[in-house]
Amino acid sequence: MKRLFGTDGIRGIVNDELTVELAMKLGNSISKLYNGKYDTLLIAMDTRNSGDMFSYALTTGAISSGMNVEICGVIPTPALAFLTKVKKTVGIVISASHNPSAYNGLKVLCEGYKIPDEDEIELEKMILESKLEYSPYGEIGKVKRNGIKSKYIEYVSEFYKGMKSEKRIAIDVGNGAAGNVVNEIFEKVGINADIYYNNPDGFNINEKCGSTSPEKLSEIVQKNGYDLGILYDGDADRCLFIDRNGNLIDGDKLMAVNAFKMKEKGRLSNSSVVATVMSNLGFEEYLKLHGIKLLRTQVGDKYVLEKMIDSKINIGGEQSGHIIFFDRATTGDGIITSLETIDTMNYFGKNIDELVKEIPEYPQVLKNVSVGDKKKIMTDERIENIISRYSQNDDYRLLVRPSGTEHKIRVMAEGKDRNLVEKSVDEIYALIEIIDKE
């Protein structure tokens, strides 16, 4: 069982769970693990104040063991994934994605993909059990700063060149990494958009803005008469939409309409989509209506991608807006998702609200409970019993799972009976709080 790596790299509260020492050991361990295969480590970050601190620590650990380092600065996670693929090397993104600025994280990518579990386990072993390894003076790695984000901008822009849109668009970049590239990409494509929440100060990333706080952009869209709004998270691997009436369009619905377009254009491989157990049953019904099959995985974009690769499927993702267009990118990319969706609107000649109104939606309630010990909660017999009792209901789904990135238990219920859905979530939420305080 992994002790450091969660569903999305190593993540934790800065200077508590995630320290400079840990980052330096990770940089050093990557140099040792990939010695002879890669000679350069790319490092990127989002806009958190702690980013530079961890960048220096990772760099020190890597170069002291003989690996060269290229500092890429503030760019989205999918941009670094693309760059590691182009340069055929390994990279680390310093980001805690949608989490507040008090958190940060370290995501390791190799040639476009998150590293496999076996590599994470080996890195953990080195970090926890081995001493730092130092190269002789003459073999210490070199450090340079590069400006290769332009390669990513050109790559994405080329796919959608000349697409254009007459829609009035508002974009909330969440004071995060998207703000460093999105305006240039949209201009190259031929789309005008107004950018909001693009004044990062190191501490305001995802703060009452971005994909986890859609209320502000909803107000802006309605007040200023925009046709649609686009929301990104801190590292821009997620994307959600706001329609012209201020309603939130989640990842399920974005996947649904894009998959339908892809099928119509002969681009949808195996007439299938991959999503997680969290995706709404109404989404599955919509796909079935259009002759598209849904395959489900456990929560986590790496598991979605694994299923996509195994089943040769080129679109998949999560309700949160982390969507992978595998014929465009090797990881979830918020900017590509937004451009694909605008292209879908153009293709069908409809606004986003008109497209998604055809998608049925079962009542679904999701609540996150902050806890001290996730394992204690999940192994408690009372939790097991209540899950078993509610799961016997027909036309009903229940998921109780620990977060892979935060000290939280996520409780989700879905079904035709809204009263049952709400009652079950509230009851389980209350029980978790009781157990946590014991």
Mean pLDDT of the 169-196 span: 96
Exposure string for 118-154, b = 16+ CB within 10 A, e = fewer: ebbeebbebbeeeebeeeeeeeebebeeeebbeebbe
How do residues 248-282 score in pLDDT, each as one tens digit? 999 999 999 999 999 999 999 999 999 998 898 88
Quickly tell me which residue has 């009781």 as its tokens: 434
CB 43 within 8 A of CB 107: no
Mean pLDDT of the 196-220 span: 97
In the DSSP assignment, the letter for residue 269 is G
Mean pLDDT of the 185-197 span: 96
CA count, 13 A, side-chain hemisphere, 123:
27
CB 239 within 8 A of CB 337: yes
Q: Are strands 239-243 and 228-232 parallel, antiparallel or unpaired?
A: antiparallel
Q: What percent of the chain has pLDDT over 70?
A: 100
Mean pLDDT of the 227-232 span: 98
pLDDT of residue 102: 97
Mean pLDDT of the 348-354 span: 97
pLDDT of residue 164: 86
Q: Determine which of 10-19, 88-97, 235-244, 300-309 has the lowest per-residue pLDDT on average.
A: 300-309
How do residues 315-326 score in pLDDT, each as one tens digit? 999 999 999 999
User: Which stretches within 316-380 are classed as H helix?
Assistant: 334-348, 352-356, 374-378
In the DSSP assignment, the letter for residue 383 is H
Torsion of CA 269, 272, 275, 278, to 10 degrees: 170
Task: Evaluate the CA torsion angle 249, 252, 257, 258 in order and state its sign.
Answer: positive
How do residues 386-412 score in pLDDT, each as one tens digit? 999 999 998 888 999 998 777 899 999
Q: What percent of the chain has pLDDT over 90?
A: 87
pLDDT of residue 6: 82
How do residues 293-308 score in pLDDT, each as one tens digit? 999 998 888 899 999 9
Residues annotated as catalytic are 97
CA count, 13 A, side-chain hemisphere, 270:
16
**Res 147 pLDDT > 80:** no
**How far apart are alpha carbons 196 and 34 in whole angstroms?**
40
**Res 1 pLDDT > 70:** no
Domains with residue ranges and CATH for the chain: 5-149 (3.40.120.10), 164-249 (3.40.120.10), 250-359 (3.40.120.10), 364-437 (3.30.310.50)
User: Which stretches within 176-228 are classed as H helix?
Assistant: 182-189, 215-224
Task: Provide the mean pLDDT of the chain.
Answer: 95
Single pTM value for the model: 0.88
The pairs formed by 238-241 with CB atoms below 8 angstroms and a separation of 24 or more are 238/97, 238/98, 238/211, 238/320, 238/321, 238/322, 238/332, 238/334, 239/211, 239/321, 239/323, 239/334, 239/335, 239/337, 239/338, 239/341, 240/211, 240/214, 240/320, 240/321, 241/338, 241/341, 241/352
pLDDT of residue 85: 96
